[in-house]
Amino acid sequence: MKISVYAIPASIDDRDLKERIAVVIDVLRAASTIITALNNGCKEIIPTAEIEEAIMLAKNYEKDSFLLGGERNAVKIDGFDLSNSPYEYTPEAVKGRTVIMTTTNGTQAIRKANDAKEVIIGSFLNAEAVSRYIRHRGDDVVFVCAGTDGKFSLDDILVAGAMIDILEGMNTEMEMDDLALVSLHLYKSYKSNLKKALENAYHYKNLVRAGYEKDVDYCIQLNLFPIIPVYKDGTIRISQNFQG
């Protein structure tokens, strides 16, 4: 199985997506929030690149059947129901509802991955489930890290490393590209203390400085939810074809 990791969506050669499963990673915080929401009974998530697009889409939904969620510069958007904090996506808030969501890095990465055979959303929260799913499918994989403001982001790389480590633990035969090798090495070095790996990282420091340390602590928990969120036709839903 070929394993590629891209640090930023813009660097992906579209040919590398064909016939592969894309795992989109934006661990702080979009992917972690999406996974939490779906685990808490959210019906579906519709990621949009722009705020205006989210507001336009919302007009197609009945009152109380949807929520607007997301952030710009880590802060809740004016007029939106929820920010990008996983703690807001409680069962009480999201159960049975559609969430229309726009975030700075994550939703853009999901759209960039669209040419893949299948697009799934991964974070530490569902790392083992994603690795088992990949192994079950047997297809080549490309990890599409969202990055932060268009730059290499250590947090996302670490999630790719966690999934590759789990695949290795299952004796999966892998042909890794260079960034996959580096991601795996980094994760192995810090797996007993992920926070230590992140303490000097840009995105982590920014979120902590902005008062989101509790969110970050939440997002770096491993394997809480054995679900596979699949992005298809513009919508993210839990895969029903896989029991994690």
Q: How far is the CB of 156 from a second copy (least distance, A)?
A: 9
Residue number, 30 or 179, with CB nearest to a second copy: 179
Amino acid identity for residue 148 in this structure: T
The whole-angstrom separation of Cα 61 and Cα 79 is 16
Residue number, 202 or 242, with CB nearest to a second copy: 202
Name which of 53, 51, 52, 97 is nearest 75 in CA terms.
51
Residue number, 11 or 221, with CB nearest to a second copy: 11
The whole-angstrom separation of Cα 73 and Cα 157 is 21
Q: How far is the CB of 99 from a second copy (least distance, A)?
A: 29
* Secondary structure (3-state) at 40: coil
Residue number, 152 or 242, with CB nearest to a second copy: 152
The whole-angstrom separation of Cα 44 and Cα 125 is 18
Q: How far is the CB of 201 from a second copy (least distance, A)?
A: 5
Question: Per the structure block, which two tokens stand in for 41?
Answer: 């009974």
The whole-angstrom separation of Cα 90 and Cα 21 is 29
Q: How far is the CB of 189 from a second copy (least distance, A)?
A: 7
Secondary structure element (H or E) that encloses residue 39, with its range: helix 30-39
Phi-psi region of 150 (alpha: psi -120 to 50; beta: other; left: phi over 0): left
The whole-angstrom separation of Cα 44 and Cα 97 is 7
Q: How far is the CB of 29 from a second copy (least distance, A)?
A: 17
Q: How many residues does the chain have?
A: 244
* Secondary structure (3-state) at 9: helix
What residues line the site for a second copy (CB under 8 A)? 5, 7-8, 10-11, 13, 148, 150-154, 157, 176-179, 181-182, 185-186, 189, 200-203
Q: How far is the CB of 102 from a second copy (least distance, A)?
A: 23
Residue number, 15 or 59, with CB nearest to a second copy: 15
The whole-angstrom separation of Cα 41 and Cα 39 is 6
Phi-psi region of 25 (alpha: psi -120 to 50; beta: other; left: phi over 0): beta
Residue number, 53 or 168, with CB nearest to a second copy: 168
Q: How far is the CB of 148 from a second copy (least distance, A)?
A: 8
CA 118 and chain centroid, separation? 14
Residue number, 93 or 201, with CB nearest to a second copy: 201
